[in-house]
Amino acid sequence: MFKNAEPSQSIGLQFWSVYSKWQLRVISCLKPLNITHTQFVVLTAILWLEDQHQIVTQASVVAITGIDKMTLSKSLKNLVFQGFVVKSKNESDSRSLILRLSDDGELLTKKALFLIENLDEEFFGIIGQKKENDFRELLLEYKKCL
């Protein structure tokens, strides 16, 4: 009935288990800031793109995060309502809007980024630097295949 003799041999179960533990810590870390994990990813993507001096659009956020367009749209609506993201007309493409962080949005994003980067170092660092690097490379390899 099962392909694996033991649950510990199921790669999907093991991945889900580790991901769930990490995600619970991320959610806990972001809760005092009153943002969701998805909102954090959107905010940090905008910050990164701004830091690279790129024009930030929903398409550019989707390209680096992989978030589906509907989820991004919903998150952006809330972030705009909260005053963390500002939308403006894109003079070079009337079909898209330019996104930027407000001053409050930038402060919040940098605070959240500091917390999450520390969490990631602690969570993933327990396996050692080489295995952490190998794990990252495997994830990037899988991402290319999807």
Over residues 2-61, the pLDDT tens digits come to: 888 888 889 999 999 999 999 999 999 999 999 999 999 999 999 999 999 999 999 999
| Tens of pLDDT, residues 96-134 | 899 999 999 999 999 999 999 999 999 999 999 999 999
Buried b or exposed e, range 48-82, using 16+ CB within 10 angstroms:
bbbeeeeebbbebbbeebebeeeebeebbeebeee
Residue 108 is predicted with a pLDDT of 99
* Whether 65 contacts 49, CB under 8 Å: no
Residue 94 is predicted with a pLDDT of 82
CATH topology of domain 26-145: Arc Repressor Mutant, subunit A (1.10.10)
Residue 5 is predicted with a pLDDT of 84
* Domain range annotation of the chain: 26-145
Q: What phi and psi values does residue 97 have, to the nearest 5 degrees? A: -110, 150
The angle that helices 37-51 and 58-65 make with each other, rounded to 10 degrees, is 110
Query: Rounded to an integer, what distance in angstroms lies between the CA atom of residue 36 and that of residue 13?
Result: 24
* Whether 42 contacts 61, CB under 8 Å: yes
Helix (H, G, I), strand (E, B) or coil at 4: coil
Residue 8 is predicted with a pLDDT of 86
| Tens of pLDDT, residues 70-104 | 999 999 999 999 999 999 998 888 888 999 999 99
